[in-house]
Amino acid sequence: MRAVVYTETGGPEVLQLVDREVPEPGPGEVRVRLRVAGVNPTDWKVRTGLTAPMTQPEVVPGQDGAGVVDAVGAGVTGLAAGRRAWVWLAGGTTREYAVLPQRRVRPLPDGASFDVGAALGVPAITAHRCLTVAEGGPRRLAPGTLAGRTVLVAGGAGAVGHAAIELAGWAGATVLTTVSGPDKATLARAAGADHVIDYRADDAAARIRELAPDGVDLVVEVAPAANAELDAAVVATHATVAVYANDAPTAAIPVRAHMTTNTRYQFVLLYTVPDAAVDDAVAAIDAALSDGALRVGADAGLPLHRFSLAETAAAHRAVEDGAVGKVVIDL
């Protein structure tokens, strides 16, 4: 099989296209013939050594993807050869075949494309966690579980922001989102946001308070340092700010304002989220997929940028340079 690997940390130039043996599934494992792989910011951050040193002599990047089951190991039930599937935390999806524990291979409904499947994983599980950390909130999203709540998604044109808009809307929330310009506003509206605020053109705090006079119940936050004052100005009493990314090494949080509202800050990193919370996220994503609530493409608010396997370095570079939308690799 063809695969892209790296044997040292560095820039995109360390990525190599190689031939490897097709792996065989062991007990409890599933082999998937991948068709599309998703690329996430974590992929290039790990490749450069920014987040952690290499612990293996050879690394296959990529965690998300979709394809077709083509072999299963002993003890696997509910998945058989020919079943379309999406995979999460797959330990390398820039290769033609991946062998995974059954838990990390999920059926992909017939109405969902491989592109949709490849865009789930890291973004959608992260978004679900952010939407379910509020005190008294639902553990698992489903239609109606966020009814009566107002959610503010910071950066609604990003991959996690897109998934948060879709999942929150599916769960019945009123969804507000902030963006940095009219093009991104168009994408956020296409994703299903009820209200879109261009923070460069409007007084974001005033506009959000106009739309949500009692404040927002939950913030899905991509830029905690830049948005600290804004979040303090718009949260409701007992609100939660769920932070899934860092725009700076530190953030100055307005302490007294958040004490007054009893605001909860919850930091979210997928790789240390409890297993039970991940399982809830995956189950909710499966249900949202079946309902047709998760979509990709420009008309759904998440433009796709396509690359071949041989162009994986260019795909990584596109994500590192801040491509708006979802970068995918065709296998």
Task: Round to whole Å and give the CA distance between 166 and 119.
Answer: 13
Q: Which of 182, 177, 123, 172 is nearest to 149 (CA)?
A: 172
The secondary structure of the chain in percent helix, strand, coil, rounded to multiples of 5, reads 30, 25, 40
pLDDT at 82: 97
Show the low-confidence residues of the chain (pLDDT under 70): none
Domains located in the chain, CATH noted: 2-119+302-330 (3.90.180.10), 124-271 (3.90.180.10)
Q: Contact, 152 vs 218, CB < 8 A?
A: yes
pLDDT at 255: 96
pLDDT at 53: 85
Residue 302's SS3 state is strand
Pairing assessment for the beta strands 97-101 and 64-72 based on DSSP bridges? unpaired
Q: What is the DSSP string of 136-150?
A: T--SS--TTTTTT-E
pLDDT at 64: 98
Q: Contact, 202 vs 191, CB < 8 A?
A: no
Residue 308's SS3 state is strand
pLDDT at 52: 82
pLDDT at 71: 98
pLDDT at 25: 98
